[in-house]
Amino acid sequence: MSTRVAGKVAVVIGGASGIGWATAQLLASEGATVVIGDIDVDGGRSRAVELGRGAEAVCVDVVDEESVRTVFEETRARLGRVDIAVNCAGLNLPGFITELDADTWRRTVDICLTGGFFVIKHAARAMEAGGAIVSITSLNARQAAAGFAGYCSAKAGLAMLTEVAALELGERGIRVNAVSPGLVETPLVEGLTSVPVIQADFTENTPLGRNGSPRDVAEAVLYLASDASSWTTGEVLDVNGGAHLRRYPDVMKHLGALS
């Protein structure tokens, strides 16, 4: 058995499903004690039971700073340390700019960007030198998509926040990086992958010709969280099958044609 993060304590925000769950599984299999933080606390507890190895689950709402602070402070108090923090929380509420209401915009930005700020802030406060923080951004951080104004803006902001945090925290020996996935088969995107014309457009615009799996992204997170990347910080790593080299599908146009 490989032990790339043996003895480390990892907090995975959004760890009850999708990329977060795949990440939690991989970190645990590599020797970490994993704390699953999720707003779906029942789902998180079920996942913790599956992991075993001392895994725990806690309720966290990334838009509530006190909730995020509590997770990291209590994890450190209970387990003695926080070595790795992974933020997988995300949400996309589509809408064209001229029709998008402020509450929908704020909800997307709050979860994808402000929540990322809270996680980085309070994870860093709980960490010592050698700590690693990894955020999940998106292909949409660099590729615009009609109807995704809130999501694209928030994920682009999270990518830049990653770089700023790396600058600020480097002197403390804390590394801050991000993984930028393309289309990954998770519950969040079932509405896209289940539509043949949309799936075909994504495949055509991905040089490697397939969707990603949560494990594909988790492997990249593991690398950035482990000592294998000890001289890497401020990196936003594209893990998208080369999709950033082509164009983003016009998802809203496809959906409009089907309605």
Residue entry with tokens 């309070």: 122
**DSSP reduced 3-state for 10:** strand
Cα angle, residue 79 at apex, residues 39 and 55 outer, rounded to 5°: 50
Contacts of 218 (CB under 8 A, 6+ apart): 19, 22, 23, 25, 26
String of DSSP letters for 77-137: HHHS---EEEE-------B-TTT--HHHHHHHHIIIIIHHHHHHHHHHHH--TT-EEEEE-
Q: Map out the domains of the chain as residue ranges.
A: 9-258
The CATH superfamily holding the domain 9-258 is NAD(P)-binding Rossmann-like Domain (3.40.50.720)
**pLDDT computed for residue 1 by the predictor:** 59
pLDDT per residue, tens digit, the chain (259 aa), is 579 999 999 999 999 999 999 999 999 999 999 999 999 999 999 999 999 989 999 999 999 999 999 999 999 999 999 999 999 999 999 999 999 999 999 999 999 999 999 999 999 999 999 999 999 999 999 999 999 999 999 999 999 999 999 999 999 999 999 999 999 999 888 888 889 999 999 999 999 999 999 999 999 999 999 999 999 999 999 999 999 999 999 999 998 887 6
Whole-number Å distance between alpha carbons of 144 and 23: 27
In the structure encoding, which two tokens stand for residue 52, read together? Answer: 């075993």
Known active-site residue 223: no
String of DSSP letters for 39-82: S-HHHHHHHHHHH-TT-EEEE--TT-HHHHHHHHHHHHHHHS--
Whole-number Å distance between alpha carbons of 166 and 66: 23
Whole-number Å distance between alpha carbons of 204 and 129: 44
Catalytic residue among 151, 166, 183, 251, which?
Answer: 151
**DSSP reduced 3-state for 221:** helix
Instruction: Name the pairing type of β-strands 236-239 and 175-181.
Output: parallel
Beta bridge pairs of residue 239: 181
Which among 159, 154, 169, 157 is positioned nearest to 122, based on CA atoms? 169
CB 233 within 8 A of CB 177: yes
Contacts of 135 (CB under 8 A, 6+ apart): 86, 87, 116, 119, 120, 158, 161, 162, 176, 177, 178, 179
Cα angle, residue 45 at apex, residues 154 and 55 outer, rounded to 5°: 90
Contacts of 201 (CB under 8 A, 6+ apart): 249, 250, 254
Find the farthest-apart pair of alpha carbons in the chain and give their distance in angstroms, rounded.
Answer: 55
